Chain A
Amino acid sequence: MAMLDINGLSKSFGGLRAINGLDMNVEEGEIVSVIGPNGAGKTTFFNLVTGMDNPDEGRVLFEDQDLVGLRPNQILGLGLARTFQNVRLFPAMTVLENVMVGQHARTKSGLLSAIFNTPRHRREEAEIEAKAKEVLAFFGSRLVGYRFDQLSMMLSYANRRRLEIARAMATDPRLLLLDEPTAGMNPRETLELTELIGRLRSERGYTIVLIEHDMQVVRNVSDRVVVLDHGVKLTEGSYEEVSTNQDVIEAYLGRPAELSS
């Protein structure tokens, strides 16, 4: 049984069919890349899976539980966390607070216990902080020490991307959805992140689905590649299979002139 099982997923915006009858599955422990030209429906696909948007038709099963109709926070509670294509942190909160928010769904303490500062509340706060620091330490020295108390808006672009991943990690996910994690990074940072995605699986045991444009990254990390175009799955397979597929090349580069007439 696949960890994530998607059946006949469809979503239109007005007349535009952003996702059209998509079937897809992800096995536990896999790293799957979703690629496709701009406007292929990749981010819509993430939004539908995480409940930020509701599908018109279809099912999304995560470990046999249907996600359709659940609120994003409930879906997160089941173990699905994501990052965003256009980095969406909480800008006026500190680095540490951003990550601590990730623990919200995993903790229980209420307002009254905070007001009366109960021992349980203190213990839970300490645990949340320890967890957040542990997650940030995953990125080496980049997000630790004095960075803890810096506002996230003060971070460099690459660090914001890393912080977003850290925040998702703090939610204790089983499946991590990364939306263009290397967008806007320079080659050195891209390389570093590629290695980091591998570590997310080997050290943390996450199953990962990522949207990616950088083919180097796709080749280096993916077990399997799914190609979307106009909301339809063109093909799937290993990087080598996909990258030589005629349909894929056409989707990206267009049909050769003599054939299109």
Chain B
Amino acid sequence: MADVEAPAVEVEAKELIAPPALDMRRAVRLGLANSAVMPLLAATGIVGTFQGRLIIDPFLPLGLLFLYMVAWAFGWLAAKPPMTLEGFAPAVAGPRNLMAGALAGVIGGAGTAVLLVLMTTLNLRAIFLELSPQLADTLSFGLPVPAAVPLILAVAATAGLAGAGVHFLPVRWRRAIMPGLMWVLIFALFTDIVGQFFAGIGLDSITSLLFTGRGGPLTIVGAVIVFVAFSALYWYRGGRETTLRQRFDGLPAEKRTRWTIGLAVAIIVILWLIPRVMGPFVSQVLDNAGIFLLMALGLNIVLGYAGLLDLGYVAFFAVGAYTAAILTSPLSPAFSPELSLLAALPFVMIAAAVAGIIVATPVIRMRGDYLAIVTLGFGEIARILLNSEWLAPYFGGAQGITNIPDLQIGPLTFRSPQDYFIPIFLFVVIAAYITLAVQKSRWGRAWMAMREDESVAEAMGVNIVTAKLSAFVVGAILASFGGALFGSQIGSVFPHSFDIVVSITVLVIIIVGGMGSVPGVVVGALALIALPNLLREFSEYQFLFYGVLLIAMMLVRPEGFIPSRRRAQELHTEELAQDAWLEIYGEAGPGEQVAEGRA
């Protein structure tokens, strides 16, 4: 041990005095990545689309901000000190970090400058539609190209430098300033929603203080106020030694119950108020997110618990929507009992259960990839049948079914998006409750066992046929509720609402949110459905955003935003498992027998 330690000390000293040259090469590599991402952002039209929005009144248009935020992020990444390993002193940020940040930024700026030169000298627009003269004007800050190139380099280097500078801030400052800046950006991005919020709670004066007008950009004063207010908040919170959670856990049991009840009441009141305060647009977005959330909770059972990758999940959503439409709409082509939606729900459930059994039966002996492909086929079959001329006398073909009546419960009629928020929310709560109740039950365990190892589950007494059928049926019923609410809220159903993209979106929600975790699925639905819809310019790039997010998540956080505890462990336990192994066998040595046993 002694001879191993001596060189370790030497290495540590070297690391501290002069960071290894590798650091700079990494900065160059990140810079090259940056020089690909920045022009890409311009070429896909994101810079151009957002250029029309001002973040802060007289300057800072959003398009350029996004562009140079990329440089900033790469600067931050390039200057990030390496993880402090055991036996090493923590790395201290120095001029070298600043250099790395600036380097990563300036290389990205060079990429952008090259794009600018190319697009002004050659006619690239035939290939890249978005490379318009306006974009050239934006990228060059309105200057002639020879003057703009050094400016772009300088701005990009400054952005990278600023990113690197973050590492120089003490932790508490960083944790106050960064969220402060983030909130400025949020206020600026969602200016009309923030305005609506203040109007809703009767504080229109705040809007006129912060913004140039309702829905307008932030004023300089407004930006400063928002920044200072939120930074102060986070500064105050950062000063506390314990998190809220820890303090809550430390409370005696009866106080905890009281707090929990209080919190639950507060949440219900807030949720009740949301549609009233936030107005129809936000309510519509949240309704939409809620319907996707219902589907995601259903797929979470099928995929997250039972491990059955269903790529045709939209079929169940369609079954719910069409069953409800046929039973409630007076314009249903073949059969029109004109039930109320509430009376139709039991039939929707039955239809969904039957659909679940129809899909599950042929795939009972299938696993993994095969199951995914077959279900993909089912999803498409459902859409094509609904769209077909052959079944048009029953389902209305491409014209769909219109005039679906509003939801009516007793004397209450639900008409506007604000009204629908409550029933959708109720169904989401029911679905979440079912998910949690089932997880801790005999069948929940059987599903998980099947997910882990199907043959062993069967050998341990789990009836695979029943387990698969029941998972599909429960998942189908939850999705069908989503479909019924969707149809009733929109007032009509058309086959083209049920294409494969819906299945994929629901899948992305649970992957990004955290498979098998209810809070994760909620966050996933909000982040992937509500966010892109709230930011109108953004919806054009929704799928680009999904793609980038998916890749980033798989690289950095494969277990999702809020993973279920077990999944987090599962994907990050390699080292722990190794330690446990050494602990048991470290002294005796695992020997040949162990090696044989593992093989």
Give chain A's interface residues, CB within 8 Å of chain B.
Answer: 50-52, 71-73, 76-77, 81-82, 84, 88-94, 97, 100-107, 109-111, 114-115, 117, 121, 124-125, 128, 151, 153-158, 167-168, 171, 183-186
Closest to B455 in A: A52
* Contact A157:B442 (CB < 8 A) given known A91-B570, A115-B434, A151-B573: no
The answer to whether B441 touches A72 (Cβ under 8 A) is no
Closest to B448 in A: A93
Given A104-B462, A111-B443: 8 more A-B contacts, CB < 8 Å: A73-B461, A92-B569, A104-B461, A111-B470, A125-B442, A156-B583, A156-B585, A184-B594
Give chain B's interface residues, CB within 8 Å of chain A.
Answer: 433-434, 437-438, 440-446, 448-449, 452-453, 455-464, 470, 474, 566-567, 569-570, 573, 576-577, 580-581, 583-585, 588, 590-591, 593-594, 596-598
* Contact A76:B461 (CB < 8 A) given known A154-B576, A156-B584, A185-B593: yes
* Contact A154:B594 (CB < 8 A) given known A104-B445, A114-B438: no
The answer to whether A171 touches B460 (Cβ under 8 A) is yes
A81 to B458, CA, bound (A): 11
A–B pairs, 24, beta carbons within 8 Å: A52-B459, A90-B449, A90-B453, A90-B456, A92-B452, A93-B566, A94-B566, A101-B449, A102-B460, A103-B442, A104-B442, A104-B461, A105-B461, A111-B438, A111-B474, A117-B437, A125-B440, A151-B570, A154-B569, A155-B580, A156-B580, A167-B460, A183-B597, A184-B593
* Contact A101:B446 (CB < 8 A) given known A73-B463, A91-B452: yes
* Contact A109:B448 (CB < 8 A) given known A151-B569, A185-B597: no
- On chain B, the residues within 8 Å of A117 by CB distance are 437
The answer to whether A186 touches B460 (Cβ under 8 A) is no
Min CB–CB distance B391 → chain A (angstroms): 32
CB-CB nearest 7 A-B residue pairs: A184-B597, A105-B461, A114-B441, A90-B452, A156-B584, A76-B461, A183-B597
A84 to B455, CA, bound (A): 11
The answer to whether A93 touches B452 (Cβ under 8 A) is yes
- On chain B, the residues within 8 Å of A125 by CB distance are 440-442
A114 to B446, CA, bound (A): 13
The answer to whether A184 touches B452 (Cβ under 8 A) is no
- On chain B, the residues within 8 Å of A103 by CB distance are 442
Min CB–CB distance A138 → chain B (angstroms): 17
Min CB–CB distance A154 → chain B (angstroms): 6
- On chain B, the residues within 8 Å of A167 by CB distance are 460
The answer to whether B456 touches A157 (Cβ under 8 A) is no
The answer to whether A115 touches B437 (Cβ under 8 A) is yes
- On chain A, the residues within 8 Å of B461 by CB distance are 73, 76-77, 101-102, 104-106, 171
The answer to whether B566 touches A154 (Cβ under 8 A) is no
The answer to whether B441 touches A76 (Cβ under 8 A) is no
The answer to whether B464 touches A73 (Cβ under 8 A) is yes
The answer to whether B570 touches A92 (Cβ under 8 A) is yes
Min CB–CB distance B356 → chain A (angstroms): 13
Residue from B448, B458, B474, B580 in contact with A90 in the complex, judged by beta carbons closer than 8 Å: B448
The answer to whether B569 touches A93 (Cβ under 8 A) is no
Interface centre among B441, B569, B583, by most chain A C-beta atoms within 10 angstroms, is B441
Closest to B438 in A: A114
- On chain A, the residues within 8 Å of B596 by CB distance are 183-184
The answer to whether B580 touches A154 (Cβ under 8 A) is yes
* Contact A109:B453 (CB < 8 A) given known A76-B459, A82-B459, A92-B448: no
The answer to whether A104 touches B464 (Cβ under 8 A) is no
A133 to B230, CA, bound (A): 50
The answer to whether A84 touches B434 (Cβ under 8 A) is no
* Contact A93:B460 (CB < 8 A) given known A109-B442, A111-B470, A186-B588: no
- On chain A, the residues within 8 Å of B576 by CB distance are 154
A66 to B461, CA, bound (A): 18
Closest to B594 in A: A184
The answer to whether A114 touches B444 (Cβ under 8 A) is yes
Interface centre among A82, A114, A168, by most chain B C-beta atoms within 10 angstroms, is A114
The answer to whether A97 touches B594 (Cβ under 8 A) is no
Closest to A71 in B: B458
A117 to B596, CA, bound (A): 47
- On chain A, the residues within 8 Å of B570 by CB distance are 91-92, 151, 153
Residue from A72, A73, A151 in contact with B566 in the complex, judged by beta carbons closer than 8 Å: A151
